[in-house]
Structure 1
Amino acid sequence: MIPNPLRLGFPVKVVGNPALKSNDTRRSQSNPHLRVSLTYLDEIFDYLVKHDIRMYRMSSDLAPYATHPDMPQFHSMVQDSAADLAAIGKKARSLDLRLSFHPSQFIVLNSPDPGLIRKSVADLVSQAEMLDLMELGPEAVLVVHVGGVYDDKLAARQRWIDTWPTLPEPVRRRLVLENDDLRFSCADVLHIHEHTGVRLIFDHQHFWCLNPEMLDLRETVSKMLASWPSHVRPKIHFSSPRTELRQLTRKNRKTGKNETVNVSPVWTGHADFVNPFEFTTFMRVAEGLEFDVMLEAKSKDLALVRLRPDLLRYAPDVAARFGLSANQQQSFEAEEAGLMEQEA
């Protein structure tokens, strides 16, 4: 096994054990709390270790209503949970878990509305505070997108750059910027990095959906990884596009009756699992580069558990980079079968 192998991770929901909750989802009337979410997170950590998964994206709703402008009764939640956050952070470090947040699409730092930016910053401050109270290292990040175009892409991009120096230090220290699939390409986020120093997240599927500048894949990955300091391992996002034919029920405008229609795939959609041949091709293109991989497949942990034996079967050279060895093949296959049966 190679020293310090690359990690595979997944976001938020544990599909392989539906009994595990990612956060306290109770309505405000029931007084949900971060402490409750942390008890759920503790159970997820045990699940991760059981299945030898060392990277996980926590729910962005871990602290419910903590920044809601009309609910001040929740605003002290994070500080009130400082001891609990320290304890769960200590467990994460002892288990060698890499953790992160990916705030929701409502977090926008390039809006022409200063009020929306203030609300967005409040959420980022809260999540950065949680990572700090957990005493996690610089690899624990807040992943955001550039935001909206607002009818002028260049102006919108510049507003993100202008907002950067106004962000509180804990946010700037934790924030990383991801290329997206519809608005801001790798070239755009590289431009923003040049003017701010913000670290970048390369998203493989987004790269193929939006690359009008026709950038080279390996060169782009290399540049985005180089935005990270040398003592912190970068990470990337990987997912395969959903290819299935979809059947939707729509109302016929002429007859007024519902009918079933066939709809082609939308290539920005994520597949349930990771295509091992796409993944292998990418990893070979990126040979010699070091980064952890957050899998954004819709089946979450099941996709990760399936990918490991696939790599051993089809690409042992790639499997070795993640610390996987041939003598684990049968155990990985049995693990996947067990989780699939449990989910069914």
Structure 2
Amino acid sequence: MSDPLKLGFPVKVLGDPSLKSNDARRSQSNPHLRVSLGYLADIFDYLVRHDIRMYRMSSDLAPYATHPDMPQFHSMVRDSATDLGALGKRARELGLRLSFHPSQFIVLNSPDPDLVRKSVWDLTSQAEMLDHMELGPEAVLVVHVGGVYGEKDGARQRWIETWKTLPEPVRRRLVLENDDLRFSCADVLHISEHTGVRLIFDHQHFWCLNPEGLPLRDTLIRMLETWPADQRPKIHFSSPRTEFRQQTRKNSRTGKAEVVSVAPIWTGHADFVQPFEFIGFLRQAEGLDFDVMLEAKAKDLALIRLRSDLQHYAPDIAARFGLSAALGGEAETSSLEARVQLSA
């Protein structure tokens, strides 16, 4: 039997608001990757306490390391090689699956060569960190295709052409995700066929953007198969927001600002994961092997709540994540939520 599937969350820890995800000081205070690694070590302790074995690190872990006007920070990653190696060793011992999801400013298909060059620099820096940590090939850099720039076919082709020029460490770590507005699963499958890049299936994005009408399970299988047999793929899962959003708008009649309620947009992520939606998806994915990064606004609280929900409503799915029906997830969720409420 394969190892249990992993659930993960990104960056910010809400169950312990004292934990920082990176050194966020301004450049005048000389922030450093070594400080961020100290914060990350504390987050590892938290993950172990709550038996969470998958985590997305902050893309700002090495502050200003690729800022073009601040060369004093450019050697930060290289200078921290020993510290990165020590923390990577601990991550491997703990069985933690780590990743980066660089910001939306990382664009590999831009017609602007300077933006592409800067994006590659950022990716190279993050790949270098993962390499210094000596993490396996499942520690990845997740990116989107980028912009359409008026012509989707040309935009896809530029991504393919840029791939050919990427440094080896970046190509080895890079994975491509379908998005919710521009590039569908069909688009990223096309790119993968011409590059070999591994793909991330994003469940919410699939439902937001699937003009080709691809079937869910078949598409999921095709995207999982872009990963080598000896690597476990991962996917992204989130639920859409359903509640009213509050917005401040100018009243055209009075000229005054007023708060109004507007309907949700389905690309928005909910605070928690809708458990029945997740259960239904996992049952459609019966027999398939992948880890799940949860992109819920409540971060670790959403993960812990989902584990409790699975134990209660779907023990068969809970078992796939190594959960039994007697782990006391509801008590853990209530305890964490109370701590967050007290610190607010």
Matches within 5 A, 1:97-136: 97-136=96-135
| TM superposition score normalised by structure 2 | 0.98
What's the offset of the Cα at 1:3? 4.6
What's the offset of the Cα at 1:267? 0.3
**Deviation per CA, 1:273-297, whole angstroms, max 9, x where unpaired?**
0000000000000000000000000
Unaligned runs of 5+ in 1: none
What does residue 258 of structure 1 align with? 257
What does residue 77 of structure 2 align with? 78
Distance in 2, matches of 1:246 and 1:168, equals: 43
Give the secondary-structure state (helix, strand or coil) at the position aligned to 2:326: helix
Distance in 2, matches of 1:250 and 1:137, equals: 49
Number of aligned residues: 341
What does residue 310 of structure 1 align with? 309
Once structures 1 and 2 are overlaid, which stretch shifts more, 259-268 or 116-125? Answer: 259-268
Matches within 5 A, 1:309-328: 309-328=308-327
What does residue 294 of structure 1 align with? 293
What does residue 182 of structure 1 align with? 181
What does residue 141 of structure 2 align with? 142
Distance in 2, matches of 1:325 and 1:92, equals: 25
Aligned residue among 309, 331, 336 for 1:339:
336
What's the offset of the Cα at 1:253? 2.4
Q: Alpha carbon RMSD of aligned pairs, Å?
A: 0.7
**Deviation per CA, 1:120-169, whole angstroms, max 9, x where unpaired?**
00000000000000000000000000000001111001100011010000
Give the secondary-structure state (helix, strand or coil) at the position aligned to 2:235: strand
Distance in 2, matches of 1:258 and 1:322, equals: 48
Give the secondary-structure state (helix, strand or coil) at the position aligned to 2:286: coil
**Identity of aligned pairs, percent?**
78
What's the offset of the Cα at 1:222? 0.1
Distance in 1, matches of 2:259 and 2:34, equals: 46
Give the secondary-structure state (helix, strand or coil) at the position aligned to 2:183: coil
Distance in 2, matches of 1:311 and 1:332, equals: 9
Distance in 2, matches of 1:39 and 1:260, equals: 42
What's the offset of the Cα at 1:262? 1.8
Distance in 2, matches of 1:258 and 1:125, equals: 45
Moved over 6 A (4+): none
What's the offset of the Cα at 1:260? 2.4
Residue 223 in structure 1 maps to residue 222 in structure 2: yes
Give the secondary-structure state (helix, strand or coil) at the position aligned to 2:243: coil
Give the secondary-structure state (helix, strand or coil) at the position aligned to 1:201: strand
**Deviation per CA, 1:162-212, whole angstroms, max 9, x where unpaired?**
110100000000000000000000000000000000000000000000000
Q: Counterpart amino acid of 1:253? A: S
What's the offset of the Cα at 1:258? 1.6
Distance in 1, matches of 2:332 and 2:317, equals: 20
Residue 170 in structure 1 maps to residue 169 in structure 2: yes
What does residue 207 of structure 1 align with? 206
What does residue 155 of structure 1 align with? 154
Give the secondary-structure state (helix, strand or coil) at the position aligned to 1:16: coil
Distance in 2, matches of 1:260 and 1:117, equals: 40
Distance in 1, matches of 2:272 and 2:308, equals: 13
Distance in 2, matches of 1:260 and 1:101, equals: 36
Distance in 2, matches of 1:194 and 1:258, equals: 51
What's the offset of the Cα at 1:247? 2.3
Unaligned runs of 5+ in 2: none
Q: Counterpart amino acid of 1:69? A: P
Give the secondary-structure state (helix, strand or coil) at the position aligned to 1:287: coil
Distance in 2, matches of 1:249 and 1:295, equals: 30
Give the secondary-structure state (helix, strand or coil) at the position aligned to 1:118: helix
Distance in 2, matches of 1:133 and 1:86, equals: 5
Q: Counterpart amino acid of 2:334? A: A
What's the offset of the Cα at 1:36? 0.1
Give the secondary-structure state (helix, strand or coil) at the position aligned to 1:327: coil
Distance in 2, matches of 1:168 and 1:248, equals: 44
Distance in 2, matches of 1:253 and 1:69, equals: 44
Q: Counterpart amino acid of 2:190? A: H
Distance in 1, matches of 2:216 and 2:269, equals: 20
Give the secondary-structure state (helix, strand or coil) at the position aligned to 2:164: helix
Distance in 1, matches of 2:253 and 2:161, equals: 51
Q: Counterpart amino acid of 2:123? A: L
Distance in 2, matches of 1:27 and 1:308, equals: 38
Q: Counterpart amino acid of 1:144? A: V
